[in-house]
Structure formats: C-alpha cells, structure tokens
Structure 1
Amino acid sequence: MYPHLTGLGINELEQIEHYSLRQEAQKDVLKIYFKKQKGELFAKSVKFKYPRKIKSVLIDDGSGQYRNKTEVNRNLTLVIDELNLLTKPIQSKDVDLKQKILSDLRHLEKVVASKIKEIEGDLEKLK
C-alpha cells in the first residue's frame, strides 16, 4: 500500500511518528523519525537526500533570457504523500506561524548581538 516507503527499505510503517523536510544547497533532506522503543535513550531516525531538479525557465519572450529554477524531486513528493497518510500532520494555524516568526526573530536578535560583541572585541584588540 506504501510502495515508495517500502522501496526506501522502511517496512515498519506503523512505527513512523513524524518527519521533517529541509533544503541544503541543491538537495532536499527528508528525515523520518520512528517511535521511541522501550529501553532506547533516543528515538531512531533515517535520513534521505534527494537532488533537486534544475530547469531553465524563460524569463521574458522579448529578451530571450533564461533563469535556472529548481523543483522538488518527484520521488520525494510521492514519499511525502505516503508519509502524510501515515502521520496525519496537523495543519498549522496563523497563530503558530506568528509564534514561529517571533521565535525566529528573537533568535536572530541574539545572533546579531553576539556577533556585534565579537566584532567590538576584535576592534579593542586593534587599539
């Protein structure tokens, strides 16, 4: 019933808890997490990397210029469809998105403040 997941070597489909997806350079990284078993310190997970498909897209008919655009690998979309059926992901709400954006902003503020202190320290060494 789940040919793409079994094709990846995942046979214990009922043990899948959730998954994450991120992009690294020209690849999409899918990480599948399994339910933590009794006696295990950490839950088991597996990672798969899918190269992104690169297409040349015409920007403007008049100029004849093209731009490279990347797309998600078709096999990855099929695997994600199967994972969505198994995990039934919760649809995020606007409130969740707002909290994520605020959290990202606070993190960025800390990173910038830390970098400013580092640069100021380097400047002090030059005096």
Structure 2
Amino acid sequence: MYPNLTGLGIHDPKQIERYSLRQEAHKDVLKIYFHKQKGELFAKSVKFKYPRQVKNVRVNSSSGNYKEVTEINRNLTLVIDELNKLTKPVEVAEVDVKQKILTDLRHLEKVVSSKIAEIEADLEKLK
C-alpha cells in the first residue's frame, strides 16, 4: 500500500507519527518519527538524505545565459505523498520563529542530556 516507504525499509508505516523535511547544502534531509513505544524516553526516528536534482534553466532568452537551479528529488516527492496520506498534516499558519527556535533548543537539550546519561551509564558498567 505504501511501496516507497516499504522501499526505505519501513515495514509498518502505520507506526509513523510525523516527519520533517529540511535542506542541507545540496541535499534534502527527511526525518521520520514513529509513535513512542511504552518505556521509551524518546520516540524512534530514522533519517534519509536525498541529493537535490540539478538543472540548468535559461535566464534570458536573448542572451542565452543559463542558471543552475536545484529541485527536490522525484523519489522524495513520492515518499512525501505517502507520508502525507499517513500523517494528514495540518496546514500550519506562520510559525513564530522565536518560539520554534526555543522549542528546538529545548528538544536538543533533552537529547544531549539523555545521551550523556547513557554514556555515563556505559562508563559505570566498565568499572
């Protein structure tokens, strides 16, 4: 039913809660978040990187100049279509940028704290 997600190795697409998409240099980064399982501190997520497609577009027909532009990978658009069917994203009005940055920062703090605790626990096992 979701061949593109299955192709990514996601065997139970119904477990997908949400996704995010961002651009890094010449790649689009898709991060898929799954519903949190009982006993997990954070929900599991997987990350996929797609190279952007490069095209040469004529800037001015009289001069014959071309400009290199990039666009989203076709496979990624197919995956996003399937993700939209699963997650039914709500149209978001303009997000308060400051609030989003603060939310991202708090999340990063939790992730780093959790990882530090995990590493410290591993160190204690070595004693």
When normalised by structure 2's length, the TM-score is 0.75
Deviation at 1:13, TM superposition (A): 1.0
Residue 32 (structure 2) pairs with residue 46 (structure 1):
no
Q: Gaps (5+ residues) in structure 1?
A: 108-127
What is residue 100 of structure 1 aligned with on the other side?
96
Deviations 1:59-101 (A, max 9, x none): 00111100000010000000000000000000113xxx0x424
Counterpart-to-counterpart distance in 1, 2:22 and 2:64: 33
Counterpart-to-counterpart distance in 2, 1:50 and 1:18: 18
Equivalent AA in structure 2 for residue 30 of structure 1: L
Deviation at 1:12, TM superposition (A): 1.3
When normalised by structure 1's length, the TM-score is 0.75
Equivalent AA in structure 2 for residue 81 of structure 1: D
Q: Where does structure 1 differ by over 3 angstroms across 4 or more consecutive aligned residues? A: none
How many residue pairs are counted as aligned between the two chains?
101
Of structures 1 and 2, the larger Rg is shown by 1
The alignment-based identity, stated in percent, is: 66
2:43 counterpart SS class: coil
Q: Gaps (5+ residues) in structure 2?
A: 103-127
1:62 counterpart SS class: coil
What is residue 21 of structure 1 aligned with on the other side?
21
Pairwise CA RMSD of aligned residues?
1.6
